[in-house]
Amino acid sequence: MQRALDDRGLSAAFVDRDSAGPPGTPVVMTMYRAKGMEFAKVVLIGVGAKAVLRGYLIDAPLEEERADALRRQRSLLYVAATRARDELVVVYVDKPSKLLPAPAGG
């Protein structure tokens, strides 16, 4: 993602466990890394049906494993979405993830 932004002339800092990026610069991070942080605005990219739920989670041989994997993925998405204090934008291609709530009025 950071490379795509750089290619378009948009500066952003990739945040990992050793760096936070310069103040005032948009940051790019994984949903896992976002835990415990807060931002005024958050954009979650790639929250489509095929991107968030990996095939190996859906195709787990035991129902208990599938249910547990779904709970963990739903929790991760919830944590990422609740990092937004003022505004949240969720972007997906084709169909939204099953973990997203149904759109209002839809």
Does position 26 have pLDDT exceeding 90, yes or no? no
| Stated pTM of the model | 0.77
From residue 68, alpha-carbon distances to 57, 80, 94 in Å are 9, 18, 26
For the chain, the domains span 2-91
For 32, the token pair is: 């896992």
Cα–Cα distance measured from residue 59 to residue 9, given in angstroms and rounded to the nearest whole number:
40
State the residue for tokens 């972007």: 91
Tokens 């997906």 locate to 92
Q: Are 42 and 90 in contact (CB under 8 A)?
A: no
Q: Which two tokens stand for residue 79?
A: 């944590």
- Say which CATH topology domain 2-91 has: Rossmann fold (3.40.50)
More confident residue, 69 or 88: 88
pLDDT band (50, 70, 90) for residue 83: very high
- Per-residue b or e along 70-97, where b marks 16 or more CB atoms closer than 10 Å to that residue's CB: beebbebbeebbebbeeeeebebeeebb
